[in-house]
Amino acid sequence: MNCPHCDSPVPTGSHGCPACGFALPTLKPILGDQWVRLERITDAVQALPLRDSRTVEVLLDDFERQFPQAFIAIYLGQLPRQLKPAELGFWLLNHGAFNTPQVAKRNDFGLIVVIDYTSMDCAVSLGYALEGLISPSKVAKSADNLAKFLRKNQLGPGLEALIAQITSLLSRAGRPESRRPAHHQSGFAADMGLRSLRSDHRKLTGDPEASPRTHQ
Amino acid sequence: MVKIRPVLSLVICVLGLAIPSIKCPAQTDGDLLPLPQWAPNEEDLAPLLGGLLPQDPQILQAGPESSSAYSNSEPHLGSGPPLVYPELPPGLQIGDMGLFLPESLLSQSSPASSPLRPPTPEIALERLPPEVFEAAVNASADQRLIDPLGLVSEMPKASLERFLEFHARDARIKTIVLLMDRQHKLPDSVDWERLSAEKASSGDFCLVVYPFGEPWRARVFLSRNVHESASTRYLADMAADCVSDSLQVSEPQDQLHRFVVRLSTRLFWLEKIMPARDSSHESQHGLKEVAESPIEPMADWVSFLAAIGSGWLLPSGIGVSALVALSLLIRRRRDVAGIDRSRVYILPEPNVEPRLGGAFSGGAGASASFK
């Protein structure tokens, strides 16, 4: 995998980029270290027409229905010059609480699309779970395809095509099953109809209780 | 209603008692029915029976015992109506007597159709007598129907000749019909060049050698110009169409009539696809026969399918294939669009060691510029 800042290869388990020293705490002066709550589509520059926004919402619903563990989030905005879209995607996956219909989804099954209208760059960032399912070349191809649509000022169709590509790629990697009722948590709170928020999340590395979990 | 019922019951009872007491008048006059009576020896008995008895008075007088000779005899048809001429002149048949009937009667179909005859077996076929072919060669140029054996009666023959004349007047491809008997077949060594040389003055023409009563053995010959202007399959279809249309009827004369009419129609169609006649180009002499079933790989395949399915398998197969292709296409589109709501995909959870300090993402992904 490559560094979101300098695009140099980053070995597994490295706490910082060997080339530029980039790590998650590097972004703290710009973005802070607090959790932020976001919708699946955050259009800070009002670039997505309403009709396209509804279409993309429907596609995102279908995606999450088809892949109960995964989600896709989209951020459209004008970023500061010192912040790259790939860096924001990396930070959002580690500090964002996305308002998905099933809020218990883990961020390591998340895919963030960041489109920066300042630098005219776009980035597709993956969580740990998805990066093993979608090869870097496929991700690069999807990003290039999105950029082609953006060059034609076709944001909505570009996002639709991207979601379709990701769906196709993940459906090959996933194990198909017939639809079944949602898994209910056991326990007193679950019996009362209460569900915990981010119960499966791993702790942040800076957290004193941090202990990397192994996902089975 | 309650008061009326006893009254009705009483009336019915009275009528029931009164009916047996009514007597028939005949019974009162010595039990004789009021029917006419005849004496046993009355002479006018026979006419009253409506002519169902034999007219021979001797048989009538002899009584029912003498009729055993008739009842024991084999059934047979009586002789027909008396003819004006006891013996018909040679070449004249009973049907020709219709020449003297009014027009309205001529238009009626003949009530007595000839019985269906089985096809002549191949082994029983005889070679066409040379004089028949000579008659075809020596026939005048304007003779369209050549019937040296006199197989067609006069009225249908005249009708056919008029029709062929009409066709020759308007069509580019003239038609000549040579009739032979049903047991005849064309010999292998027929000098078609001689025949075509005689008829070449009339331009393109079509010769039909027609076995009377067996149209499926008819052979169609075309001038080389005409034959080469259309595909072999088209010409074979044309001949087969004429045969199948003629077999819609069972009477040999009607078969011939339908065959010729259909052939005329198809020859007009053939003219439409023929190139325009070039006056500078000499027409090629010679005749070429229309093959019955040209061998074409694709046609054989289609006919094989049509044969095994009696004509319905091919269309239904195409329909089923189209449905399958359509369903696959829809399924593919649904898969691509990710709207297959009937199934979910469970993704594996790989064990990835965190990097760059990220708990959920290590910065994997890709960027692109859309400047």
Please report, as a single letter, which amino acid is at residue B257. H
Q: Count of CB atoms within 10 A of residue A36's CB?
A: 13
> pTM higher than 0.90 for the full model?
no
**Distance from C-alpha of B92 to C-alpha of B97, rounded to nearest angstrom:** 8
Please report, as a single letter, which amino acid is at residue A106. R
* Vertex A63 angle, CA A60 and A65, to 5°: 110
A129-142 confidence digits (pLDDT tens): 999 899 999 999 99
Q: Which of A64, A93, A107 to mutate to test the interface with B (most CBs of B within 10 A)?
A: A93
Can you read off the two tokens belonging to residue B156? 């249908």
Instruction: Check residue A119 and give its pLDDT.
Output: 93
SS3 per residue for B94-163: HHHHHHHCCHHHHCCCCCCCCCCCCCCCHHHCEECCHHHHHHHHHCCCCCCEECCCCCCCHHHHHHHHHH
Of A63, A121, A123, the CB nearest to B365: A123
Dihedral of CA A189/A67/A122/B367: which sign?
Answer: positive
B290-307 confidence digits (pLDDT tens): 876 554 445 555 555 555
Residues A121/B367, Cβ–Cβ less than 8 Å: yes
Burial of A117 (0-12, 13-18, 19+ CB in 10 A): middle
Distance from CA of B331 to the nearest CA of A (A): 13
Whose CA is closest to B139, among B185, B183, B88, B198? Answer: B198
Question: Is B25 in a helix, a strand, or coil?
Answer: helix
A200-212 confidence digits (pLDDT tens): 565 555 544 444 4
CB-CB neighbors (< 8 A) of B360 in chain A: 93-94, 106-108, 110, 127-128, 201-202
Instruction: Check residue B122 and give its pLDDT.
Output: 80
- Give the B-side interface with A, CB within 8 Å: 335-371
Chain B residue with the nearest C-alpha to that of A4 = B363
Whose CA is closest to A22, among A84, A106, A108? Answer: A84
Q: Is the pLDDT of residue A162 over 70?
A: yes
Are residues A121 and B342, on separate chains, in Cβ contact within 8 Å?
no
Give me the interface pTM, i.e. the ipTM. Answer: 0.81
Cα atoms in the Cβ-side hemisphere of radius 13 Å centred on A32: 5
Cα atoms in the Cβ-side hemisphere of radius 13 Å centred on B349: 13
**Distance from C-alpha of A94 to C-alpha of A32, rounded to nearest angstrom:** 12
Q: Count of CB atoms within 10 A of residue B94's CB?
A: 11
Contacts (Cβ under 8 Å, ≥6 apart) of A120: A150, B369, B370, B371
CB-CB neighbors (< 8 A) of A171 in chain B: 335, 338, 345
Are residues A120 and B370, on separate chains, in Cβ contact within 8 Å?
yes
Can you read off the two tokens belonging to residue A164? 């379709």
Instruction: Check residue A167 and give its pLDDT.
Output: 93
Residues A105/B349, Cβ–Cβ less than 8 Å: no
Q: Tell me the pLDDT of chain B (371 aa) as tens digits.
A: 445 566 666 667 566 555 554 544 444 555 666 777 766 665 555 455 445 555 555 655 555 554 444 545 555 555 555 555 556 566 666 556 556 655 544 555 454 455 567 788 888 888 888 888 888 888 887 888 888 888 998 888 999 999 999 998 888 888 889 899 888 888 877 777 777 776 666 678 888 999 998 998 899 988 888 888 888 888 999 999 999 999 888 889 899 999 999 999 999 988 888 877 665 555 556 777 887 655 444 555 555 555 555 556 677 888 899 999 988 888 777 665 555 566 889 999 888 889 999 999 998 999 999 98
Phi/psi region, residue A188 (left: phi>0; alpha: psi -120 to 50; beta: rest), is alpha
Q: Is the pLDDT of residue A187 over 80?
A: no
Question: Is A113 in a helix, a strand, or coil?
Answer: strand
Please report, as a single letter, which amino acid is at residue B233. R
DSSP 8-state class, residue B181: -
Please report, as a single letter, which amino acid is at residue A57. E
**Distance from C-alpha of B258 to C-alpha of B248, rounded to nearest angstrom:** 9
User: In chain A, pLDDT over 90 holds for what percent of residues?
Assistant: 59
Can you read off the two tokens belonging to residue B136? 């075809």
B108-134 confidence digits (pLDDT tens): 545 445 556 778 888 888 888 888 888
Residues A69/A105, Cβ–Cβ less than 8 Å: yes
B353 backbone dihedrals φ, ψ, rounded to 5°? -80, 130
Residues A106/A100, Cβ–Cβ less than 8 Å: no
Can you read off the two tokens belonging to residue A129? 């779970």
| B206 Cα distance to chain centroid | 24
CB-CB neighbors (< 8 A) of A93 in chain B: 358, 360-361
Are residues A10 and B336, on separate chains, in Cβ contact within 8 Å?
no
**Distance from C-alpha of A107 to C-alpha of A73, rounded to nearest angstrom:** 10
* Distances B344 to A168, A200, A204 between C-alpha atoms, Å: 13, 21, 30
**Distance from C-alpha of B281 to C-alpha of B283, rounded to nearest angstrom:** 6
* Distances B168 to B1, B141, B162 between C-alpha atoms, Å: 91, 11, 10
Residue B222: its H or E element: strand B219-223
Are residues B355 and A10, on separate chains, in Cβ contact within 8 Å?
yes
